[in-house]
Amino acid sequence: MVVDLYRTSLADIDAAFAVSSRLLPDLPLDAVLARADDGELIQCVPRLTALTVHHELGDTSPVVIFDRFATVWETFTETQRAAMFELLTLWWQASLALYPSDPNPSTVLACLARLPMPLSHWLDYWLRDLDEAQAAHISDLVMVDLDRPEWTSIPDRRGQVVAWLKSEPVTIGMTFVAGPHFEKGQLGKILDRLIGPSR
């Protein structure tokens, strides 16, 4: 069902960017990136977005794609931003739904953090319906993912995420809602890392 939702949202992005579906329909990633590097990034946004959400980037990190999007985001029209926001929300929600997931929420959030929009939308959703899968993703973020280059390369945004992780709603949620889902001792390690010395 998520793929069907992506299909509709991707069509909305094509329309918002006024890109013919025949322009870059099956162009492989390296060819799309070459066109983007030759000054056609705006025209390539729909194809790059589709490749990203369909996990067709090969060895290329989706963070690389979003670093490029960040360079042109402010030039998007309101309609283009709204279409992208709708799809990115679906992508974010899908990443949180299962554990493990590919890509994981940490990677998706690192992508979204590169765009000039508040992180609160994404983080609030993560905590809204905290369950076993979402708690496991928070555990991964705390214990491993925040130390990866996709996060250490954006220290201000990383700091915002760390502050959110240390917030009372997250620590309470992890303790009382998610706690029963962890193995003995695992929650203590997560909380020690959350409320311990500054990361």
Tokens 């991964």 sit on residue: 140
**pLDDT number for residue 163:** 94
Collapse the DSSP code of 101 into the 3-class scheme (helix H, G, I; strand E, B; otherwise coil) and give the result.
coil
In terms of pLDDT, which residue wins out, 106 or 186?
106
Question: Residues 1-25: pLDDT tens digits?
Answer: 454 669 999 999 989 998 754 456 6
- pTM for the whole thing? 0.90
- In this model, does residue 172 exceed pLDDT 50? yes
Orientation of helix 132-143 relative to helix 78-97, angle to 10°: 100
Highest mean pLDDT among 23-32, 75-84, 162-171: 75-84
Burial of 137 (0-12, 13-18, 19+ CB in 10 A): buried
Looking at residue 171, its pLDDT comes to 87
Give me the sign of the Cα torsion angle 147, 148, 151, 154: positive
Model pLDDT, residue 1: 45
pLDDT value for 40: 87
Q: What is the mean pLDDT of residues 164-177?
A: 88
Tens-digit pLDDT profile for residues 61-93: 999 999 999 999 999 999 999 999 999 999 999
> Does residue 137 contact residue 105 with C-beta atoms inside 8 Å?
yes
Q: Is the pLDDT score of 199 beyond 70?
A: no
Stretch 101-112: mean pLDDT, rounded? Answer: 95
pLDDT exceeds cutoff 60 at 60: yes
Question: Are 75 and 63 within 8 A, CB to CB?
Answer: no
Place of tokens 């729909």: 46
Contact at 8 Å (CB) between 83 and 124?
no
190 within 8 A of 174, measured Cβ to Cβ: yes
Rg (CA), the chain: 18
What is the rounded CA–CA span in Å between residue 154 and residue 126?
Answer: 20
pLDDT at position 94, please? 93
Could you give the CA distance from residue 65 to residue 39 in angstroms, rounded to a whole number? 15
CA dist., res. 80 & res. 106, Å (int)? 25
92: three-class secondary structure by DSSP: helix
Contact 148, 63 (CB under 8 A): no
